Amino acid sequence: MCGIVGYLGHREAYSVIIKGLQRLEYRGYDSAGVALLNGGLNVYKKKGKVADLHDFVKGKDVSSNIGIGHTRWATHGEPNDKNAHPHVSNSGKLAMIHNGIIENYSSLKTDLIKKGFDFKSDTDSEVFINFIEDIYLNSGVSLAEAVRLALNKVVGAYAIAIISLEDPNLLIAARKGSPLVVGLGKGEFFLASDATPIIEYTNEVVYLEDQEIAIIKDGHLTIKSVSDVEMTPYVQTIDIQLEAIEKGGYDHFMLKEIFEQPKSIGDCLRGRLQAKEGKLVLGGIFDYVTKMVNAERILIIACGTSWHAGLVAEYIFEEFCRIPVEVEYASEFRYRNPIVNEKDVVIAISQSGETADTLAAIELAKSKGATIIGVCNVVGSSIARATHAGSYTHAGPEIGVASTKAFTAQISVLTMMALMIAEKKGSLSESKYRALLFELESVPDKVAKALLLNDQLEEIAKVFKDARNFLYLGRGFNFPVALEGALKLKEISYIHAEGYPAAEMKHGPIALIDEEMPVVVIATKDSSYEKIVSNVQEVKARKGKVIAVVSEGDTEIPKMADYVIEVPHISDALMPLIAVIPLQLLSYHIAVMRGCNVDQPRNLAKSVTVE
């Protein structure tokens, strides 16, 4: 959730921080604030977007070379000015920003109130900074040591940054369960929830590990564990281009990211897929292929759109590898005492690599002896470090909260994994294996062709922008695509939408169909085509409005459907990569026409790092 930015160096801190918050706003946009040291501690915060904060600060003194900033996704306390970060301690000398949840805040707050502390907000974060101050004032230790002692007492998740009026050359940060990266410049240091605010200034970073504290003082970085062991910083070079996190002429990041998919899928396949040679090379899982080939079961754990990618993978792995697959919501898996053993392989999927529920599910599965394979987009992320092995999707930064290119990149990686395992296992004929490699190689071009439907989808959106409900239907490999299409629509347009297996329509949802119900049917030519034709007829018999996604050249369904969207033909297993494109475009255009904030839909944040 929330986005954190910090700076200490020779630049104007405010300009670095405000620009960084704008780049992190996809992580939360209920309120925003900054704290700056300039002889005094100046704190400015405001409900609303980062732009509201920037307007509020105009004309105020923001001259400073050290500061911290925050953009919030509310957990404790409603979105308003008083609950916005940074929070200041009772003495007025410490300021802190916090991403996460402190579970034992209530008992801490009770003790602090007894000691005379008073609170101006409803947040657990204000309790946190006052708890640190209480230790600092009463234990005779340095502020960094007070932070360390406090971290040993709090229960929950956090990424924090703290500045002190008493020491304008000190910046302290720490993390547990929420991401935090330190950027290393020439005589300057940066803090951020991810690398996007940093890359304009430096490509050298240190990713803090769980329960590590970064102490930046007098031009030097020290990293300690909460158990007071000094750690050697592991400096990494990040490979993100600045233009990748700009809109590049598009009206919204989401539209840009939809149209980036030929490239993002191509980047995912590049260097791994060698169709002419009949080779697939996923170096990240090379040492674990035998383990995956011999797995008795594959468990896929994920949340949201990544869970839908996992459902597609279930069909693919079972079809090609003949290994039983179960797909679990990470948030449920971790709480139901699941049966997992050392013969299981768990594939964890996350765009950000920081999803709290997925991380907790990984640790649970690891404790039971399972082998954990990660599929994520962000290099150096927590999931990438927590898993035994894995593959990056190489989709590039995804800023729009509603995931698009990450979904197709995840399916691309998972398809390559399945084909690699199937080839090693011998569960797929050589001819079929090679044919699928060539088809997979053709996906970027076919996605580019599907994107040419944009104008047609915009016209369809005009017809249905005021609909109150949508139904999405699909069969087989396309059932998860129906779920994903429905999720995209409700995420960004706030229209209620549900995805169903097409045959399940008559087990309940058919009762909803009337002349005002748009029904999106993914009806591409596959092994269940005749069945989906029957489903379309059932909808039309009840006067539903059918929007059909069909294979090019289809002559049967166009006779029945009200609106027909033709996509390039490809094998059943790869069709989700193509069929999802028009559904993404439809949801985008409907949301724009309804005046919704496409990139920052209400109540949502990009990376769910709290439970």
Q: Which tokens is 427 given?
A: 């569960």
Same-domain check for residues 351 and 433: yes
- Distances from the Cα of 338 to the Cα of 142, 341, 344, 361, angstroms: 45, 10, 12, 10
Same-domain check for residues 32 and 89: yes
User: pLDDT value at position 243?
Assistant: 62
pTM: predicted TM-score of the whole model, two decimal places: 0.81
CA 484, 485, 491, 493: dihedral to nearest 10 degrees? 180
User: pLDDT value at position 581?
Assistant: 98
Element (H, E) at 33: strand 31-37
Q: Residues of the chain with pLDDT > 90: what percent? A: 72
Q: Which tokens is 126 given?
A: 């204000």
Q: How many alpha carbons fall within 13 Å on the CB side of residue 295? A: 32
Same-domain check for residues 270 and 219: no
Check whether 564 has a pLDDT greater than 90.
yes
Question: Distance between CA 158 and CA 178 in Å, rounded?
Answer: 6
Same-domain check for residues 216 and 269: no
Mean pLDDT, residues 161-174: 96
Residues of the domain holding 226: 3-243
- 2 tagged catalytic: yes
Classified as helix, coil or strand, 522 is: strand
Question: Distance between CA 148 and CA 348 in Å, rounded?
Answer: 31
Q: Which residue carries 């050392």 as its tokens? A: 342
Q: Which tokens is 122 given?
A: 């409803």
**pLDDT confidence tier of residue 366, bands split at 50, 70 and 90:** very high
- 606 tagged catalytic: yes
Three state DSSP letters for 241-266: CHHHHCCCCCCCHHHHHHHCHHHHHH
Same-domain check for residues 314 and 222: no
Does 80 fall in a domain?
Answer: yes
**Are 68 and 4 within 8 A, CB to CB?**
yes
Element (H, E) at 41: strand 41-47
DSSP 579: H
Same-domain check for residues 29 and 69: yes
**Residue among 457, 301, 414 nearest 364 (CA):** 301
How many domains, the chain? 2
Does 248 fall in a domain?
Answer: no
Same-domain check for residues 445 and 494: yes
Q: What is the mean pLDDT of the chain?
A: 91
Does 167 fall in a domain?
Answer: yes
Mean pLDDT, residues 126-145: 95
Same-domain check for residues 451 and 327: yes
User: pLDDT value at position 290?
Assistant: 93
**Are 348 and 302 within 8 A, CB to CB?**
yes
User: pLDDT value at position 608?
Assistant: 61
**Are 523 and 476 within 8 A, CB to CB?**
no
DSSP 277: T
Same-domain check for residues 395 and 447: yes
User: pLDDT value at position 513?
Assistant: 83
Question: Distance between CA 339 and CA 318 in Å, rounded?
Answer: 20
Question: Distance between CA 355 and CA 606 in Å, rounded?
Answer: 10
Mean pLDDT, residues 354-383: 90
**Are 34 and 4 within 8 A, CB to CB?**
no
User: pLDDT value at position 147?
Assistant: 96
Question: Distance between CA 610 and CA 87 in Å, rounded?
Answer: 19
**Are 7 and 191 within 8 A, CB to CB?**
yes
Does 601 fall in a domain?
Answer: no
**pLDDT confidence tier of residue 378, bands split at 50, 70 and 90:** confident
**Residue among 266, 173, 190, 220 nearest 8 (CA):** 190
User: pLDDT value at position 603?
Assistant: 73
Q: At 326, phi and psi to the nearest 5?
A: -125, 135
- Alpha-helical runs (H) found in 451-596: 454-464, 479-493, 529-541, 575-593
Same-domain check for residues 195 and 279: no
Domain holding 586: CATH number?
A: 3.40.50.10490
**pLDDT confidence tier of residue 131, bands split at 50, 70 and 90:** very high
DSSP 193: S
Does 424 fall in a domain?
Answer: yes
As to burial, measured by CB atoms within 10 angstroms (0-12 exposed, 13-18 middle, 19+ buried), residue 473 is: buried
Question: Distance between CA 489 and CA 497 in Å, rounded?
Answer: 7
Same-domain check for residues 264 and 239: no
Task: Give the count of beta carbons closer than 10 Å to the beta carbon of residue 10.
Answer: 10
pLDDT greater at residue 413 or residue 541: 413
Q: How many alpha carbons fall within 13 Å on the CB side of residue 418? A: 29
Does 606 fall in a domain?
Answer: no
Does 338 fall in a domain?
Answer: yes
Domain holding 94: CATH number?
A: 3.60.20.10
**Residue among 437, 414, 398, 425 nearest 327 (CA):** 414
> pLDDT, tens digit, for every residue of 399-441?
888 999 999 999 999 999 999 999 999 999 999 999 999 999 9
Mean pLDDT, residues 230-257: 83
Does 603 fall in a domain?
Answer: no
Q: Which residue carries 């405001």 as its tokens? A: 46
Same-domain check for residues 260 and 114: no
Catalytic residue among 2, 303, 321, 376: 2
Task: Give the count of beta carbons closer than 10 Å to the beta carbon of residue 560.
Answer: 16
> pLDDT, tens digit, for every residue of 488-536?
999 999 999 999 988 887 787 777 788 888 999 999 987 788 888 888 8
Q: In what order do the strands lie in the sheet with 3-8?
A: 41-47, 31-37, 66-72, 3-8, 189-192, 181-184, 204-207, 235-237
Mean pLDDT, residues 189-218: 92
DSSP 399: -
Mean pLDDT, residues 273-299: 93
**pLDDT confidence tier of residue 242, bands split at 50, 70 and 90:** low
Rg (CA), the chain: 25
- Of 193-202, 313-322, 455-464, 537-546, which gets the smallest average pLDDT? 537-546
- Alpha-helical runs (H) found in 281-427: 289-293, 304-321, 330-333, 356-367, 382-386, 405-425
| Phi and psi based region of residue 380 (left: phi greater than 0; alpha: psi -120 to 50; beta: remaining) | left
Catalytic residue among 45, 49, 256, 606: 606
**Do the bridges between strand 518-522 and strand 545-551 make them parallel or antiparallel, or are there none, so unpaired?**
parallel
pLDDT greater at residue 385 or residue 463: 463
**Are 279 and 464 within 8 A, CB to CB?**
no
Question: Distance between CA 161 and CA 557 in Å, rounded?
Answer: 58
User: pLDDT value at position 78?
Assistant: 80
Residue count of the chain: 611
Domain boundary among 179, 210, 243: 243
As to burial, measured by CB atoms within 10 angstroms (0-12 exposed, 13-18 middle, 19+ buried), residue 291 is: middle
Mean pLDDT, residues 209-224: 94
**pLDDT confidence tier of residue 241, bands split at 50, 70 and 90:** low
Domain boundary among 243, 277, 311: 243
Mean pLDDT, residues 70-83: 81
User: pLDDT value at position 72?
Assistant: 85
Q: Which residue carries 């992580």 as its tokens? A: 27
**Are 548 and 474 within 8 A, CB to CB?**
no
DSSP 234: -
User: pLDDT value at position 611?
Assistant: 53
Mean pLDDT, residues 51-59: 92
> pLDDT, tens digit, for every residue of 15-53?
999 999 988 887 777 899 999 999 899 999 999 889 999
Question: Distance between CA 20 and CA 196 in Å, rounded?
Answer: 7
C-alpha of 112 from chain center: 36
Question: Distance between CA 383 and CA 353 in Å, rounded?
Answer: 5
Number of H-type helices and E-type strands within the chain: 18, 27
User: pLDDT value at position 323?
Assistant: 96
